[in-house]
Chain A
Amino acid sequence: AQKVTQAQTEISVVEKEDVTLDCVYETRDTTYYLFWYKQPPSGELVFLIRRNSFDEQNEISGRYSWNFQKSTSSFNFTITASQVVDSAVYFCALSLVSGSRLTFGEGTQLTVNP
């Protein structure tokens, strides 16, 4: 069975600080996808990124960057120069290539204070 762990339940930072959200996963499969979703206070789930297990290249999108390390089974998410609008719950999730359903972590509540 798959498992995703987000050990940080809550993080609070001051605007403009950098913040990293940790994600550790477990699976016996060698091919899988990893995802990050954002859930703002309004409640919807917003897709941020999908990574393939066979591509360990890190990715940057504006203030967001993701560090995928197969050796440590981690897929960490960094927000640079955080803003108040980044306040949300962030979920890491895993899906096997052989299947389709997502296994979610518990989520990290990020609060960015002005």
Chain B
Amino acid sequence: NAGVTQTPKFRVLKTGQSMTLLCAQDMNHEYMYWYRQDPGMGLRLIHYSVGEGTTAKGEVPDGYNVSRLKKQNFLLGLESAAPSQTSVYFCASSKGRGRELTEAFFGQGTRLTVV
């Protein structure tokens, strides 16, 4: 039972390079999220999706793009990496809405360093 799986777990990028982080969930959840975690700032929402084919901006979307072509996958792209994007990235998924909302299940995280 994999839950939420993120690929890769670690990555070092040079400024200006691009990359895609992949998130896959096997729980048939409708909702998926990308957060970044920085020291002293908790987790901040980058983008999220409420279903296949839909995406929306979160709290800190600049410099990132996302796609949800399949229900189980949620991709986070960095078009031109900057040192300010050095962070730990977490993907999460949840089921239901309103009073049926469950807790969010998180992936293991991706540690990204931009030099």
Contact = CB atoms under 8 A, between A and B. Distances in A.
Interface string B30-49: 01010100001111110010
Given A43-B88, A44-B109, A102 B41 contact: no
Interface string A14-55: 000000000000000000010101000001110100101000
Interface in A58-102: 91, 93, 95, 97-98, 100-102
A79 B8 CA distance: 35
Given A43-B88, A91-B42, A100 B108 contact: no
A104 B40 CA distance: 11
Interface residues of A, number: 25
Contacts of B97: 100
Given A91-B43, A101-B58, 12 more contacts: A4-B42, A45-B90, A93-B43, A100-B101, A102-B33, A102-B45, A104-B35, A104-B44, A106-B41, A106-B42, A107-B40, A107-B42
14 contacts: A35-B104, A45-B90, A45-B92, A47-B104, A52-B99, A95-B101, A101-B31, A101-B33, A101-B45, A102-B33, A104-B42, A105-B42, A106-B40, A107-B42
